[in-house]
């Protein structure tokens, strides 16, 4: 099995982002505040769950949780989903408050789509290494080098970056969005290079790429796939398109070195739909952040799920905890808002995405 094939360098229109420190969660004001809080520091898990239940009703709050959240938060949320589903939930929310258990770019998207609701993020340092890999100034400079190009941004970007682009997309609709752009149009895709390479390979279309990556998914190597498949050769292989091994796996698939009927490149919502639709119990190797295993085990209890890498943990997602969620509801912190001019321009790119996206089953 030639899983060690590496893709050749891409094209001269690509841009490698400047080296910059990864955002950190150490010393978060929310972590310090809950540790020093006289009420919260005495509460048991049962107290916190009861308190969250009471406050969400008193405050008219909807709790949205991404598929990578800790199990306790997934279990109490009003809606658990991928980035696309959670944006759609926010857009249709008619509530006083949305508490977003996820990361900042997701809460910003909710604030743009639900301007009548107050959007709260329980820890303001819940960032994203991928979103941090590109700035609005860099998008403007890249665009200036390619007049006439259409710029497509993955949803894992700051609102100020979305305000500079033409289309947004998520892992669930990236192929649909790029397919909707006329064939003869030059495309700049940012910031995830692995997702960009995947789109290019699937659509047979040349795209200029921003060579950014998510530090969690970039860590998945072809060797990890080979090792897990050696343990469970009959398993389904589910890979998020942000994974660093996707190009090599697509190559192996084309060579017949991976089974075509058991290899799937899917966003987290696609993984949920895949296991729901798999009729008989199977083993699934899950190539994404480990929070996904809880969601999949609940969706398909008879199936067996193994992480492709046990240490694929996103510290930004995991910085949201029950004490911080309780404090967020109790103290109305931390509000996420987007300046009106940025929100309006970012909304155009998000609305274009939602208009092109077909309803999901």
Any bridge partners for residue 211, and if so which?
A: none
Q: What's phi and psi for 192, nearest 5 deg?
A: -95, 115
| Number of helical (H) and strand (E) elements in the chain, helices listed first | 16, 12
Structure tokens at 155: 């949803």
Coil, helix or strand for 47?
helix
Q: Of these partners, ligand 13P, ligand SF4, none, which one is at the site of residue 129 (CB under 5 to 8 Å by kind)?
A: ligand SF4
Q: Of these partners, ligand SF4, ligand 13P, none, which one is at the site of residue 171 (CB under 5 to 8 Å by kind)?
A: ligand 13P
Coil, helix or strand for 29?
helix
For residue 360, with 0-12 CB atoms within 10 Å meaning exposed, 13-18 middle and 19 or more buried, which class applies? middle
From 15, 152, 153, 214, residue interacting with ligand 13P (rule: CB under 6 A): 214
The answer to whether 88 contacts ligand 13P (rule: CB under 6 A) is no
Least CB distance from residue 216 to ligand 13P, whole Å? 7
Q: Which of residues 287-346 bind ligand 13P (CB under 6 A)?
A: none
**Of 346, 302, 336, whose CA–CA distance to 126 is shortest?**
336
Q: Of these partners, ligand SF4, ligand 13P, none, which one is at the site of residue 173 (CB under 5 to 8 Å by kind)?
A: none
Q: Are 25 and 315 in contact (CB under 8 A)?
A: yes
Q: Of these partners, ligand SF4, ligand 13P, none, which one is at the site of residue 316 (CB under 5 to 8 Å by kind)?
A: ligand SF4
CB-wise, 67 or 117, nearer to ligand SF4? 67
**Residues that bind ligand SF4 in the complex, under the rule CB under 6 A:** 103, 128-130, 156, 214, 216-217, 289, 314, 316-317
From 83, 88, 157, 357, residue interacting with ligand 13P (rule: CB under 6 A): 83
CB-wise, 215 or 345, nearer to ligand SF4? 215
The answer to whether 171 contacts ligand 13P (rule: CB under 6 A) is yes
The answer to whether 123 contacts ligand 13P (rule: CB under 6 A) is no
Least CB distance from residue 156 to ligand 13P, whole Å? 5
Q: Are 4 and 248 in contact (CB under 8 A)?
A: yes
The answer to whether 158 contacts ligand 13P (rule: CB under 6 A) is no
The site that binds ligand 13P (CB under 6 A) totals a number of residues, namely 10
H helices within 146-265, ranges in order? 159-162, 174-179, 193-203, 222-231, 246-254
DSSP H or E stretch at residue 264: strand 263-265
Q: Which residues bind ligand 13P (CB under 6 A)?
A: 67, 82-83, 156, 170-171, 214, 242, 267-268
């Amino acid at each position: 099995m030639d899983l060690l094939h590496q893709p050749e360098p891409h094209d001269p229109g690509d841009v490698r982002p400047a080296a910059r420190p990864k955002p950190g969660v150490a010393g978060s004001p929310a972590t310090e505040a809950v540790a020093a809080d006289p009420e919260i520091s005495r509460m048991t898990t049962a107290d916190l769950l009861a308190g969250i239940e009471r406050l969400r009703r008193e405050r008219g709050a909807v709790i949205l949780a991404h598929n990578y959240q800790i199990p306790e938060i997934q279990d109490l949320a009003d809606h658990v989903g991928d980035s696309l589903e959670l944006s759609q939930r926010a857009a249709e929310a008619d509530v006083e408050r949305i508490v977003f258990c996820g990361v900042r770019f997701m809460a910003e998207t909710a604030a743009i789509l639900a301007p009548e609701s107050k959007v709260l993020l329980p820890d303001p340092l819940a960032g994203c290494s991928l979103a941090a890999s590109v700035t609005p100034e860099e998008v403007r400079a890249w665009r200036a080098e390619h007049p006439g190009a259409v710029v497509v941004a993955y949803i894992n970007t700051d609102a100020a970056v979305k305000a500079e682009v033409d289309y947004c997309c998520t892992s669930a609709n990236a192929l649909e969005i790029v397919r909707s752009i006329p064939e003869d149009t030059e495309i700049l895709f940012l910031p995830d290079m692995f997702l960009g390479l995947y789109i290019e390979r699937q659509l047979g279309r040349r795209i200029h790429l921003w060579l950014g990556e998510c530090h969690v998914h970039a860590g998945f190597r072809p060797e990890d796939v080979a090792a897990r498949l050696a343990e469970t050769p009959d398993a389904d292989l589910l890979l998020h398109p942000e994974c660093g091994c996707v190009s090599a796996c697509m190559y192996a698939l084309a060579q017949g070195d991976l089974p075509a009927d058991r290899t799937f490149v899917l966003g987290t919502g696609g993984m949920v739909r895949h296991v729901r639709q798999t009729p008989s119990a199977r083993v699934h190797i899950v190539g994404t952040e480990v929070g996904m295993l809880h969601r999949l085990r609940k969706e398909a209890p008879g199936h067996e799920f193994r992480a492709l890498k046990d240490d694929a943990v996103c510290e930004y997602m995991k910085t949201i905890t029950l004490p911080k969620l309780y404090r967020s509801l109790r103290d109305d912190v931390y509000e996420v808002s987007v300046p009106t001019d940025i929100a309006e321009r970012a909304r155009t790119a998000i609305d274009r995405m939602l208009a092109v996206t077909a309803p999901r089953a």
